[in-house]
Structure 1
């Protein structure tokens, strides 16, 4: 949801271009998990689930392996989420039509030398 909420990043545009919207993601979360209880946490230190931490670690590793300079983008995070097949995020993406072909398409965009990430 965070990728879509920000809205101006490449990954959110890619998702919306493939019919995956914030409202559709919210609807899928409610179907899978029910309506969540409200809880509060510091916006500076939100809690990370194990799947979220694994996604972040994957994105960092992939960026380092690529040898490219620059930041880890929301696109790297989206691909990291896609790799976590048991995670709710991956399951939501599947339910909304994201697949390996879409992941390959996204990977090809971010591996282009002219890709500027989220700028």
Structure 2
């Protein structure tokens, strides 16, 4: 009886372990190699391992992309229907995502204008990023100035996955959308709109940092000539 009980317990443990799944780099859940070996050696074909549904994985990936693409938190101007709202360019979306990541790296509770500025520089390929670097505004300098201005966060604090926008950062996004609508131009909202929206927030951390590093109204005016330049560059790639 004791031997029978032990064998039953062992088989029960093996059966339980076969349900374990590990998350691989392709975002699909697969049985571990160890689980496969145990099932083959001790249980044979009595336990069926459920394979992941490939359609579910694809739909999950598409859902994630759609969330990032269409959830940039800009306010919809009054009187503008949802189908008339301009879309953000791929570079602008990536810059925003990198900005959130920079805020998390610094363990800040919010995504501020300074984080959005760093996000633009991390993305690095937009016309806005090129003008910033040519003006002496680099990622490392902005990061240092941010810490000097806002200080270091508590080392034991963990930022949320999507740190909410500060009021100036929200206004920067809203300014970009509003200016795109006022321009009457077709196409997407580029990173240049985002950067100029940040610059327009005169009391923001990013404006102070950009000013300290040599950016000015004259350079902002020059940059405004490239409001839709990212679209032209993208179409010629």
Unaligned runs of 5+ in 2: 1-117
Query: Given the alignment, which residue of 155, 159, 168 partners 1:40?
Result: 159
Deviation at 1:17, TM superposition (A): 1.3
Structure number with bigger Rg = 2
Alignment-derived partner of residue 66 in structure 1: 183
Quote the Cα distance in structure 2 between the aligned partners of 1:105 and 1:46: 32
Of 209, 215, 228, which aligns to 1:98? Answer: 215
Listed as ranges, the gaps of 5+ residues in structure 1 are none
For 1:99 and 1:92, how far apart are their aligned partners in 2? 11
How many aligned residue pairs are there? 114
Could you tell me which of 106, 110, 119 is aligned with 1:2? 119
Distance 2:198 2:180 in 1: 14
Shift of 1:74: 1.0
TM-score (norm 1): 0.88
What CA RMSD, in Å, does the superposition of the two structures yield over aligned residues? 1.5
Residue in structure 1 matching 2:199, options 82, 87, 103: 82
